[in-house]
Amino acid sequence: MTTDSAIAPEPRAFEADVSKLLHMMVHSVYSDRDVFLRELISNAADACEKLRYEAIANPALFGEDPQPRITVTLDKEAGTVTIADNGIGMTAADMGETLGTIARSGTKAFMDRLSADNDGGGQQLIGQFGVGFYSAFMVAGAVDVVSRRAGQEVAAVWSSDGRGTYTIASADLSQAPDRGTRVTLHLLEDAKGYAERYNVERIIKAQSGHVPVPIFIEEAGSDEEALQIADGAALWTKPRSEIIEEDYTDFYRSVAGQFDKPALTLHYRAEGRHEYSVLTFIPESKPFDLFDPNRNGRIKLYVRRVFITDEAEILPRYLRFVRGLVDSADLPLNMSREMIQDSPVLSAIQKGVSNRVLAELEKLADAEPERYAAIWENFGSVLKEGLYEDYARRESLLGLARFKTTSSNGEWRSLKDYASSLKENQTAIYYATGDDLDRIAGSPQLEGFKARGIEVLLLPDQVDNFWTTTGIDYDGKPFKSVTQGAADLSLIPLSEGNEPASVGEEVTGFVAFAKEALRDHVSDVRVSDRLTTSAVCIVAPENAMDLQLEKILASAGRAPERAKPVLEVNAGHSLIGKLGQSSAGDDERRDIAYLLLDEARIAEGEAPTDPRAFVERLERLMAKTL
């Protein structure tokens, strides 16, 4: 590239989403504005790490200046704070792509959440999650970014007041850093405190003390040399005994881009055939991108302290909530990212770290069940994805799984707990799925289980519909849906105070009649084991898909050919008994059969078979009682 392709500063508009975000930044009365420093320093450190990586293949990029550094310059008089790095730098084109759009998925998720909330809740959200470069506009009325890409003889400047447009222009080389980026913030009147040294020093130490690049601070117009306030040492290479909890928390926040604390910290060094260090964390709260469709993990891969990639997928996707890094001593530095993916060393690391994370969770579950329950509360629905994705670790995942059940009073129960309270003759682990715990707990299908004191797992997550149908078992007991097939409860005795209903001729008569009348809509009508209070319910036939799963697939537009449900009737219910004896004519009995089916469907959250006909039947019936 040459200097004669100079670019003049034409105003360009921000992407719509950026404008929205900027508007929030500018108008935020948000109290913890300090985070802008963390975001800009983290970008500067990323830039240094990118350079370190590119210089492996092209050492000339380092020029005369191989030591990465970040310098924060305060100018009280001018009311500015400048964050400079000697990292990879940006070309004008890079700036256009990255500083006018929203690229990173975390910020995208943040925006989605904002528009979903729509009620000004955003202020708190900024507090909990980083929103990158644009956070500069919380404290600055104008921002200039001057940058020179490593190895290039041109520089560019980006400027904006954060009000809808920005400019990019060529910059004079003499005004630009020799390499890297200089971000200058023109502080707002009420943010002048960010030009105060004691203030900035404190914030950087607290927020960025462990970024892997040394940080210096200096004051404009002062003769004093820049002072190093963070050493850029890699925390993970230090022995555990020398690290205090605060160090881990600070490091976690900068590596994970989270604002909470770690719920679990795992720091160890693997030795033997492969040598690597691991420093990972489980967050205390759910990261924003937890349910991003791409389900990417965020474990960074380093090789001998050089950042290589955060796309190595060190952990399986169902452990994507784990943040942190792995630093390998064995991988060759000059291997491309693509080749690293296929390296046997990487597979050994993936396996080792995944097993260790699960083992660590198991240990915690045993030793500190309450701390573990808090982790499960946040990430259980993600971990459960492993039950159908990771056959090899299924045992371990089943051991880690916790459930609310019909007898747990809102507490979490393990399958071991469940297995220890099986009823006489109980041969399956029963579960009920749905999308709301209370509604599942109130399903009529559970009545017969309750009457026998049989515990039922209540499964409210979408993933529950999938892993339960993979032929999985625990301790030799299959998982069985309470809304599928015959309940087969007759061998399990009723608890005291529950009488078995006798099935008289009148009931079998009505069942036969209803079966004929409803044959277009149900595959069977039968007397139920599972009802004690409700008159009817519907269940899926034995080998068909569970009702919930059917519903989910249908809502995803992948509706399978729907199997007709089975209508079960409660022989002990007074209405059913009376129906058998009633002298009502066939037309009336047909109406009632339909109404019963529709009632059962409504209890499942479904529409009546034919809403118009349903209304007419109901009205005919009401008219008779008047």
Q: Which of 81-89, 223-231, 311-319, 375-383 is the region at the interface with ligand ADP (rule: CB under 6 A)?
A: 81-89
When CB distances are held under 5 to 8 angstroms depending on the partner's kind, the choice from Mg ion, ligand ADP, none that residue 181 binds is ligand ADP
Q: Is 328 in the site for ligand ADP (CB under 6 A)?
A: no
Structure-block tokens of residue 163: 């009000």
Q: Is 86 in the site for ligand ADP (CB under 6 A)?
A: no
Q: Which of 43-51, 294-302, 434-442, 508-516 is the region at the interface with ligand ADP (rule: CB under 6 A)?
A: 43-51
Q: Is 181 in the site for ligand ADP (CB under 6 A)?
A: yes
Q: Is 132 in the site for ligand ADP (CB under 6 A)?
A: yes
Sole binder of ligand ADP in the list 37, 44, 146, 299 (CB under 6 A): 44
The residues that bridge with 457 in the sheet, in sequence order, are 405, 431
Structure-block tokens of residue 224: 């004093």
Q: Is 18 left (phi over 0), alpha (psi -120 to 50) or beta?
A: alpha
When CB distances are held under 5 to 8 angstroms depending on the partner's kind, the choice from ligand ADP, Mg ion, none that residue 85 binds is ligand ADP
The label of the residue with tokens 């056959």 reads: 391
Cβ neighbors of 570 (< 8 A, separation 6 or more) are 501, 527, 528, 531, 532, 533, 534, 535, 536, 576
Closer CB to ligand ADP, 289 or 568, in the complex: 289
* DSSP 8-state assignment for residue 445: G
Q: Is 354 in the site for Mg ion (CB under 5 A)?
A: no
Site track 129-148 with Mg ion (rule: CB under 5 A), x = hit: ---x----------------
Q: Which of 38-46, 327-335, 369-377, 442-450 is the region at the interface with ligand ADP (rule: CB under 6 A)?
A: 38-46
Closer CB to ligand ADP, 17 or 46, in the complex: 46
Closer CB to ligand ADP, 181 or 528, in the complex: 181
* DSSP alpha helix (H) spans, 294-406: 337-341, 344-367, 369-383, 386-389, 394-400
Our CA angle for 245, 246, 251, nearest 5°, is 100
Q: Is 43 in the site for Mg ion (CB under 5 A)?
A: yes
Structure-block tokens of residue 246: 């605060």
Q: How many residues bind ligand ADP (CB under 6 A)?
A: 16
- Element spanning 309, H or E: strand 306-309
Q: Is 604 in the site for ligand ADP (CB under 6 A)?
A: no
Q: Is 47 in the site for ligand ADP (CB under 6 A)?
A: yes
In the bound complex, what is the minimum distance in angstroms from residue 211's beta carbon to ligand ADP? 12
In the bound complex, what is the minimum distance in angstroms from residue 99's beta carbon to ligand ADP? 6
Sole binder of ligand ADP in the list 85, 289, 327, 604 (CB under 6 A): 85
Closer CB to Mg ion, 104 or 286, in the complex: 104
- 486: number of Cβ within 10 Å: 16
Distance CA 47, CA 100 (A): 18
Q: Which amino acid is at 206?
A: A
* DSSP alpha helix (H) spans, 296-368: 337-341, 344-367
Q: From residue 610, give the alpha-carbon distance in Å to each of 367, 510, 547.
A: 55, 22, 19
In the bound complex, what is the minimum distance in angstroms from residue 336's beta carbon to ligand ADP? 20
Q: Is 207 in the site for ligand ADP (CB under 6 A)?
A: no
Structure-block tokens of residue 7: 């670019």
Sign of the CA dihedral 545, 548, 550, 552?
negative
When CB distances are held under 5 to 8 angstroms depending on the partner's kind, the choice from ligand ADP, Mg ion, none that residue 98 binds is ligand ADP
Distance CA 148, CA 91 (A): 6
When CB distances are held under 5 to 8 angstroms depending on the partner's kind, the choice from Mg ion, ligand ADP, none that residue 218 binds is none
Contact 83, 190 (CB under 8 A): no
Residues that bind ligand ADP (CB under 6 A): 39, 43-44, 46-47, 85, 87-88, 90, 98-99, 103-104, 132-133, 181
Residues that bind Mg ion (CB under 5 A): 43, 132
